[in-house]
Amino acid sequence: MIMKHKLLIIFIFSIFTLFVNTSNAQSFLTQDKVWSDYYYSDYYNIYDETGKFLGFTTAKVTTWHKVGADSIIEMRLYKQILSSKDSLMEKWYLEALMREEGDKVFRYYPIGKNENLLYDFGMQPRDTIYDHDGYVSTVLKSVRDTIMDRSRKIYTFSKNGDNLVEEIWIEGIGALRGGIFRPLNDFMTGGNYAIGYTGLICFFENGELIYHNADFDKCYYNDIKPLSGMNISEIKAQAHALSQNAPNPFSNQTEIKYFVESGAKEAYICIYDMQGKILQKISIVSGQNSVIIQDSTLVKGMYLYSLIIDGQEVDTKRMIIN
């Protein structure tokens, strides 16, 4: 009898654990998440400091997204979606308002004072959904896979419109090709067409890298080709310089180059987790040099590293282990 009770308790606990893991995967708008979207275009608009349009160029740029504070609109609770285009995520602006209700995620549009259904993670094969532009898409298949030790649904959709490509959703993460705000949208999505491409590169949860699109070698791009004849200010060398680690992301080791002027008493490269806890403190010498970081003591995810000179933080950058 005691053995039967033990087996029953183990069975109930196993079912409860599976339920918790599956349910957690459905939660979309939580503040522990960060997305990075990639945007490529041959027709990227360039403006001068006064806002005058200068022309088109080729660009590869990234926007980070995270969940911000709550907003109450028409008696409904929405989450502010904040975005940043700089690599260090220091400057954020309000991008959108979204809310979730069960398996569904909605976006609110202030101008029309209406909302559109972005995601429905309860859909089944052959179910249909309309995107923001009115195109209907059909679920071709829905399978379960384990990502970050959680069972998540992975959807494959057909897409209507001029560019017939498939879209993919991952439960709790979002759309891979359309970006998290405009899933199933046919404009500039799904491939490297003449106009451009947009889609999800990386997804982080609690600072840990959960998803990295295999088509991209890093989680952040800011490559904008100058227009012909455009005046570019000379970049002057600065004292005490910290370079971006390369390669980034990395899966074995990476190199961080730095320059420390002579006369510095103490100099360090410090590595932190995303909560600011110091993980490594590496003593360095003056001059132009570098340090090699191994991933053997760090788990997959996003980290900060700083150049510290005589107790003062000179610069901080981010690195990613995949």
- The tens-digit pLDDT sequence of the chain (322 residues) is 555 554 444 444 443 344 333 334 458 899 999 999 888 877 777 776 666 777 778 888 888 999 999 999 888 999 999 998 887 787 889 888 999 998 999 988 887 788 888 889 998 988 888 765 566 778 888 888 877 667 888 888 876 544 455 788 888 888 887 777 766 554 434 444 334 567 888 899 888 888 888 888 788 888 888 776 554 333 234 467 888 888 888 888 899 988 888 778 899 999 988 777 888 999 998 888 889 988 777 888 888 898 888 887 788 888 888 8
> Considering the domain boundaries, does residue 83 fall inside one?
yes
Q: Please tell me the predicted confidence (pLDDT) of residue 27.
A: 81
| Count of alpha carbons within 13 angstroms of residue 173, beta-carbon side | 32
> Considering the domain boundaries, does residue 6 fall inside one?
no
**Of the candidates 224, 251, 266, which is a domain's last residue?**
224
Indicate whether 253 and 129 sit together in one domain. Answer: no
Q: Dump strand ranges (E) for 148-265.
A: 150-157, 167-170, 174-175, 196-205, 208-212, 222-224, 241-242, 253-260
Q: Please tell me the predicted confidence (pLDDT) of residue 193.
A: 38
Q: Are 210 and 220 in contact (CB under 8 A)?
A: no
Cut 0.75: pTM above it: no
Tell me which residue range forms the domain holding 31: 13-224
> Considering the domain boundaries, does residue 286 fall inside one?
yes
Q: Please tell me the predicted confidence (pLDDT) of residue 68.
A: 92
Indicate whether 219 and 162 sit together in one domain. Answer: yes
Indicate whether 165 and 278 sit together in one domain. Answer: no
Indicate whether 194 and 55 sit together in one domain. Answer: yes
Q: Are 135 and 128 in contact (CB under 8 A)?
A: no
Backbone angles phi, psi at 6, to 5 degrees: -60, -45
**Three-state DSSP class for residue 258:** strand
Non-local (6+) Cβ contacts of 6 within 8 A are none
CA gap 34, 62 in Å, rounded? 13
Q: Percent helix, strand, coil in the chain (nearest 5)?
A: 10, 50, 40
Q: Please tell me the predicted confidence (pLDDT) of residue 100.
A: 92
CA gap 220, 244 in Å, rounded? 12
How many domains are contained in the chain?
A: 2
> Considering the domain boundaries, does residue 231 fall inside one?
no
**Of the candidates 224, 250, 268, which is a domain's last residue?**
224
Q: 179 — alpha (psi -120 to 50), left (phi > 0) or beta?
A: left
> Considering the domain boundaries, does residue 257 fall inside one?
yes
Q: Which residue has the tokens 């532009």?
A: 133
> Considering the domain boundaries, does residue 55 fall inside one?
yes
Indicate whether 170 and 65 sit together in one domain. Answer: yes
Indicate whether 180 and 245 sit together in one domain. Answer: no
CA distances from 44 to 60, 188, 226 (A): 9, 12, 11
**Of the candidates 163, 198, 224, which is a domain's last residue?**
224
Task: Write the CATH number for 265.
Answer: 2.60.40.1930
